[in-house]
Structure 1
């Protein structure tokens, strides 16, 4: 057999080198499986709130499963936008994630200028939770159900007022949706968080509030507030005796508060897939289910594609509410 010429040998050697170089990234990827260093979970709200509680439960479970620290970093302010923007601008390697909420689906319609785009700048991983709000009022308010609340709002000179945890939050827009569907006018009184808003409702300074069950139900159980209805399509196992808004006389009404996990757009698909698969195990574990349900949340896992579709539906839904209410934040 005739030996290859010098030129041909050089050509074959070059091809071999290129092949080895081409396989290097794959070999490196196999040698360094994700994650191989701490992962940061940005919570764009203060510590101790519903989103923070969800994030810390999930972070601990992911840390246990994947063997690397999942560190929660609270970056509150401006409707959750600064924290979301920071993650959108971070390196898309799976080591910086953000826990998104209903507010992030509301913000594109509410804020005239945003430095990020929810549906373009993030890679959805999975939803985490969903849960109703509960309409609470001072025990002396002369309305004990939805029908009576609507009648009172229509009859009272100047209407009723409602508190919220801030402009554009689900506690604000869920009440605006209620007002629009019920054909009533209620004045919005924004606060810096649920706690001060609930304090004024308990004092009778503010008529009512649509708040998370985690924040409001302890005060209901203590007799400082009364619960008129929950905002989900079905009753909550946390308060099975409290009817839904739809049951109470406003058919078709539904508003939920949710959390989900997002990575920066461009995060490698295998990383997103791995996190999604681990979250399925986390959210289906009995202890997580029990812990979340005790606080009024339902664990909600879905595929990245389904979570993206869910977020788009939420963006579209709340855009209509924002337009009807005329709410804006500069």
Structure 2
């Protein structure tokens, strides 16, 4: 679908917004203290796990401490709002994808708009999987799940990691493919959802491989299908929804670092370069692979295009009434 003119202009500001350029001395001194990466979800989920390996790599690149600050709530809007309110000095970054930045503001009132952020670089991409407990006899395969969801419409409790997250969008896509509805349960991140899935409080969960891989490998959870265009190297035996004959779905999750758009361009450029260098670090690449994801850097412009593409999908879902805040 095409974007309206307002959407295009606003999203363009994500890559172009800037402020006064600091003096050369100020830029050379940056960073002179610890940098905070705000993770707008609870500990234990995909974004949190990625945030911790990024913080380690970026600290090495910048020669300063980089700390993770979890601020969950409102589909990521609590943490994102904190970044917008912070001083535009480059010391407070947001780790997020399109769900927090462009989708949640379409769904509900937030203390920010997508134009309040300037993308710096993507840092990670990961596949999404549909998860069930390994001891749940109802869901031995994706075909079992699909048959149950269709025959018992509204009875299946399906969880996602927060309103407007890629997990939420993948859930909606799967409802469309199967022509049925789930009883949707929203969480403040993957960590709490995984705990409830393991405990039997919910039936299935839409999650990134990154945060669920340890439970799949332990045998506690079963990956019923990859919700993406291709198999995931961490789970080569798990087939995609398309390969299983149920149609196309893409839950690939991109995560990147953003900063307040009021941050001076010289500082944004310094940070963007440091992030790309950190993502290319061999230890960062290995750590991401161990999590079941891929270290993936970009230019600010490429990140802005990813955000624009997600805006096109989510804004349509909001207008159709299929994507709502809790």
| TM-score > 0.5 by shorter chain | yes
Q: Which residue of 1 aligns with 2:128?
A: 133
Q: Tell me if 1:212 matches 2:191.
A: no
Instruction: Identify if the C-alpha distance between structure 1 residues 109 and 26 changes in structure 2 by more than 3 Å, giving closer, same or farther.
Output: closer
Q: Which residue of 2 aligns with 1:103?
A: 99
Moved more, 174-183 or 136-145: 136-145
TM-score, structure 2 length as denominator? 0.83
> 2:236 and 2:168 mapped to 1: Cα distance?
24
CA apart distance, 1:241: 0.6
Match of 2:254 among 238, 246, 258: 258
> 2:318 and 2:141 mapped to 1: Cα distance?
26
The number of residue pairs the alignment matches comes to 303
Do 1:46 and 1:76's aligned partners in 2 also have CA atoms closer than 8 Å?
Answer: yes
CA apart distance, 1:40: 2.2
Instruction: Identify if the C-alpha distance between structure 1 residues 275 and 152 changes in structure 2 by more than 3 Å, giving closer, same or farther.
Output: same
Q: Which residue of 2 aligns with 1:292?
A: 288
Do 1:176 and 1:325's aligned partners in 2 also have CA atoms closer than 8 Å?
Answer: no
Over aligned residues, Cα RMSD in angstroms? 2.5
> 2:116 and 2:150 mapped to 1: Cα distance?
43
Q: Tell me if 1:84 matches 2:104.
A: no
Q: Tell me if 1:70 matches 2:60.
A: no
DSSP 3-state at the match of 1:290? helix
Q: Which residue of 1 aligns with 2:48?
A: 52
Q: Which has the higher contact order (CA 8 A, sep 6+)?
A: 2
| 1:266-315 superposed Cα distances (whole Å, 9 cap, x missing partner) | 32222222222222222122221111112122112111111111111112
Q: Which residue of 2 aligns with 1:7?
A: none
Do 1:177 and 1:321's aligned partners in 2 also have CA atoms closer than 8 Å?
Answer: no
The list of structure 1 runs, each at least 4 consecutive aligned residues, that deviate by more than 6 angstroms after superposition, is none
Do 1:138 and 1:203's aligned partners in 2 also have CA atoms closer than 8 Å?
Answer: no
Match of 2:324 among 319, 325, 328: 328
Instruction: Identify if the C-alpha distance between structure 1 residues 205 and 80 changes in structure 2 by more than 3 Å, giving closer, same or farther.
Output: closer
Match of 2:224 among 213, 225, 228: 228
Match of 2:164 among 162, 165, 168: 168
Do 1:150 and 1:184's aligned partners in 2 also have CA atoms closer than 8 Å?
Answer: no
> 1:27 and 1:298 mapped to 2: Cα distance?
35
DSSP 3-state at the match of 1:188? strand
| 1:213-259 superposed Cα distances (whole Å, 9 cap, x missing partner) | 23333333333322111112221111111111221223321012232
DSSP 3-state at the match of 1:328? coil
CA apart distance, 1:200: 4.3
Instruction: Identify if the C-alpha distance between structure 1 residues 169 and 306 changes in structure 2 by more than 3 Å, giving closer, same or farther.
Output: closer
Q: Which structure has the larger Rg?
A: 1
Q: Which residue of 2 aligns with 1:116?
A: 112
> 1:125 and 1:42 mapped to 2: Cα distance?
14
Moved more, 216-225 or 264-273: 216-225
Do 2:61 and 2:277's aligned partners in 1 also have CA atoms closer than 8 Å?
Answer: no
Instruction: Identify if the C-alpha distance between structure 1 residues 41 and 138 changes in structure 2 by more than 3 Å, giving closer, same or farther.
Output: closer
Segments of 5+ residues of structure 1 without an aligned counterpart are 1-24
Instruction: Identify if the C-alpha distance between structure 1 residues 86 and 211 changes in structure 2 by more than 3 Å, giving closer, same or farther.
Output: same
| 1:103-161 superposed Cα distances (whole Å, 9 cap, x missing partner) | 313212222x112012x111110111111121112343444444443233222365533
Do 2:123 and 2:295's aligned partners in 1 also have CA atoms closer than 8 Å?
Answer: yes
Q: Which residue of 2 aligns with 1:149?
A: 145
Moved more, 34-43 or 304-313: 34-43
CA apart distance, 1:169: 3.2
Moved more, 315-324 or 92-101: 315-324
CA apart distance, 1:102: 4.2
